[in-house]
Amino acid sequence: MKSEVKIPQATTKRLPLYYRFLQNFANEGQERVSSQQLSEAMKIDSATIRRDFSYFGALGKKGYGYDVKHLLAFFSETLDQAEPSKVALIGVGNLGSALLKYNFQKNHNTHIVVAFDSKAPIEGKLVSNIPVYPPELLEEKYQEYGAEMAILTVSPRSAQMMADRLAAIEAKGILNFTPERIHVPERMQVLNIDLSVELQALIYLIRNQEE
């Protein structure tokens, strides 16, 4: 991004989604798209879409909408992952194992390259073809495998300690699946995914609508 404007995190998180939906429109041969069409396809209200796009300097024209090719080129450049992203996974429990198997096959250039688990032998073992080492080798193996960021699927009580160790080896970001809110230096990025909170939010939405 060459822009100086600070883009809100909520907008940033929608960017890969916009990209995916625009690709669908392009595949269908559509040359332009309105915020209403995107809104219906994505289930995001159109005012939000227009505001998001304005952050990227993409301004639709009234009665015309957005140029699909132009937007795609812009998003593709923005999301460009030409340089492969290598990810370490910490905590091979139920969720960690599932993520190892899943391994983000749809993200062409992004893969989990190494994992850590307290039950792994010191010489390492393979899970879904990914080497898993005990946590005492975190610093050594994280760097040896060239990981840039980490997925945290440890127990909540280990979350901050692992975040501190990741900060010390200059990890660039953490995808945090634990319910703990972790504290990291400002230069690091953290995204939180708390599955219990998501389920509670769904229940709340349902109950809220029932009344």
Instruction: Name which of 119 and 187 has its Cβ closer to a copy of itself.
Output: 187
Q: Which residue has the tokens 């504290």?
A: 183
Residues 6+ apart with CB under 8 A from 78: 1, 15, 56
Stretch that binds a copy of itself, among 1-9, 28-36, 65-73, 131-139 (CB under 8 A): 1-9
Would you say 184 is a known binding-site residue?
A: no
SS3 79: coil
Spatial contact of 56 and 2, defined as CB atoms under 8 Å apart: no
In the chain, count of helices (H) and strands (E)? 8, 9
Would you say 92 is a known binding-site residue?
A: yes
Q: Is 196 among the residues that bind a copy of itself (CB under 8 A)? A: yes
- Written in H, E and C, the secondary structure of 129-162 is CEEEECHHHHHHHHHHCCCCEEEECCCHHHHHHH
Q: Is 110 among the residues that bind a copy of itself (CB under 8 A)? A: yes
Would you say 96 is a known binding-site residue?
A: yes
Instruction: Name which of 83 and 123 has its Cβ closer to a copy of itself.
Output: 83
Query: What binding mask, one character per residue, do residues 133-162 give for a copy of itself by CB under 8 A, x or -?
Result: ---------------xx-x-----------
Q: How many CB atoms lie within 10 A of CB 181?
A: 11
Residues 32-51 that bind a copy of itself (CB under 8 A): 41-43
Residue 125 Cβ, how far from a copy of itself at the closest point, in Å? Answer: 18
Calpha distance 209→187 (Å, rounded): 40
SS3 84: coil
Q: Is 211 among the residues that bind a copy of itself (CB under 8 A)? A: yes
Binding site for a copy of itself (CB under 8 A): 1-2, 7, 9-10, 12-13, 15-17, 20-21, 41-43, 78-81, 85, 87, 94-95, 97-99, 101-102, 104, 106-107, 110, 148-149, 151, 172-175, 179, 181, 187, 189-211
